[in-house]
Amino acid sequence: MRYDIVIIGGAIVGSSIAYYLREEGFSGSIALIERDPQFAHAATTLSCASIRQQFSIPENIRLSQFTLKLFRRLTEEFGADADIGFREGGYLILAGENGLPILKANHDAQMAEGADIVLEDADALVRRFPWLSAEGITAGAYGRTGEGWFDAHAMLMLFRKALRSKKIDFITADVTGIERQGDRATSVSLDNGETLEAGTVINAAGPNAGKVAAMAGLVLPVEPRKRNVFVFEAREKYADMPLLVDPSGIYVRPEGSVYITGGAEPEEGDGPADPADFEPDWPLFEEVIWPVLATRIPAFEAIKPTRAWAGHYDYNTLDQNAVIGPHPHVGNFLFANGFSGHGLQQAPAVGKALAELIVHGGYRTVDCSAFGYGRVAEGRAFRELNVI
C-alpha cells in the first residue's frame, strides 16, 4: 500500500490534521493510523478539556482563539446537532506578590491579542467571588469571555465523524517502525506485519511522539508525564465559579454537579511516566491539593472525593510548547507534538495550519513558524510561562 500522507495517531491532533487537509482541498490518499481506537489512554479523552486565552506567548493565544471561533460556529462547521457542551466559565489565575510581574506581563500580551481578561486586585476579586479567600493573593486575571470547558470526547467524535465522508483510510494498528532513505521518510511498518509506503509522514502520537520520532532516527524532546485529576463533591454549588488556578499551580473547576482538581505535581520525581501507568496518586490529593483548596475556598474544607483518573501530558522537556512543522533535513516528516497540557484547545488550529502548509506551501491563518523544529535542533527554548 502507498499513501500520499500517513498520519500516526488518530486522536484530536491527527484527526484535525486529516479534517483540514480535506477542507483545504488535498485530494491525495490519507491513512490515519491509531492503535487504541477506543482512545482509552489518549491524552485527548483523559484531559480536563478546558480552553483559555491566558497564555504568555501571543502565538499560543492565537491558536486558542482560532479554536474559540470554531466553538462559536460549531453547527455551521459540523452540522445542526454538533454540540460539545462548551461552558464559557472563564479562568481565574491568581498571583501573590512574587507572581504579580509575570501575571501583568501575560495580561499585557493577552490584551494586545484582544482577549477579554480583566486584571483585578484581591479586594475586587473577593467582591466578584465572595466564596474566595484572598489569603496570600495580590491580584488575579479573570477571563470574562472566551475561556471555559467542554466535552473532549464529544469534540473528538465530531472530527472523527466528519472524516467518515472525506475518504480517509482508518487503520487500526501500532506503528512499530519508520524507514528512511537519506533525508526522506519512505514507509511505516505496522505491528500486523504490513508496510505502508508514505509520501509524507505526520507525527500526531501525543505523549508517544518522542518514541515515534526516534523510529525515524529523529530526536524530539517529548515524553509522557503523568498528570492526576481528582473529582469531588461539595455541598456548595458555585454557578459563577471559573477554572481557578492557585499560585501553587493547583487548579479547580466545576464539572456539572461536581468539581475537578489537580496540578502541582511535585517537581521531584516528575520525569517520564511509565506509558502503562494510569493509576491516580491519591496521596497527592490528600497531602497537597486538599489543604490548598480548603485555604483558597473555605467552604471546600468539607468535601467528598469520589473518583480520580490519570493521563499523560505530551510534555516537551525543552520549553513546554508545541513543535509544529517539518523536520529541517527530513522534510517529509512533520511534527504536531509536545503541547504540554494545552494541545486539545490548540488541535483545530494546528490541524488547519499544517494543512495550509502542505496544500499551499505556507501558513495562512495562524503563523506557526515560531513553533518550528529549528529551535529544538538549536536547543533554543520558546517558553510558555503559563503551563497549568
Ligand X SMILES: Cc1cc2nc3c(=O)[nH]c(=O)nc-3n(C[C@H](O)[C@H](O)[C@H](O)COP(=O)(O)OP(=O)(O)OC[C@H]3O[C@@H](n4cnc5c(N)ncnc54)[C@H](O)[C@@H]3O)c2cc1C
Between 204 and 353, name the residue whose CB sits nearer to ligand X. 204
Stretch of 29-37, 177-185, 354-362, 372-380 lying at the interface with ligand X (CB under 6 A): 29-37
Rounded Cα distance, 61 and 194, in Å? 41
Give, to the nearest 10 degrees, the angle between helix 58-72 and helix 100-112: 60
Stretch of 23-31, 306-314, 324-332, 373-381 lying at the interface with ligand X (CB under 6 A): 306-314
Q: Which residue is nearest to ligand X (CB)?
A: 343
Between 64 and 106, name the residue whose CB sits nearer to ligand X. 64
Q: The C-alpha cell of 70 is what?
A: 470554531
Between 17 and 125, name the residue whose CB sits nearer to ligand X. 17
State yes or no: residue 204 binds ligand X (CB under 6 A).
yes
Is residue 40 within 8 A of residue 365, CB to CB? The reply is: no
Q: The C-alpha cell of 69 is what?
A: 471561533
Which pairs from 356-359 meet CB under 8 Å and 24+ separation? 356/20, 356/24, 357/325, 357/326, 358/5, 358/21, 358/24, 358/26, 358/200, 358/334, 359/21, 359/24, 359/25, 359/26
Decide the pairing of beta strands 251-255 and 258-262. antiparallel
Per-residue x/- track, 163-202, ligand X (CB under 6 A): -----------xx---------------------------
Rounded Cα distance, 190 and 172, in Å? 9
- Residue 327 makes CB contacts below 8 A (sequence gap 6+) with 218, 333, 334, 335, 373
Stretch of 78-86, 119-127, 253-261, 343-351 lying at the interface with ligand X (CB under 6 A): 343-351
Among the listed residues 32, 50, 137, 198, the single contact to ligand X using CB under 6 A: 50
**Encoded amino acid at 142, one letter:** Y
Closest approach, Cβ 50 to ligand X, in A, equals 4
State yes or no: residue 218 binds ligand X (CB under 6 A).
no
State yes or no: residue 106 binds ligand X (CB under 6 A).
no
Closest approach, Cβ 130 to ligand X, in A, equals 26
State yes or no: residue 207 binds ligand X (CB under 6 A).
yes
Residues that bind ligand X (CB under 6 A): 8-9, 11-14, 33-36, 39, 42-44, 46-50, 174-175, 204-208, 212, 227, 229, 311-314, 339, 341-345, 347
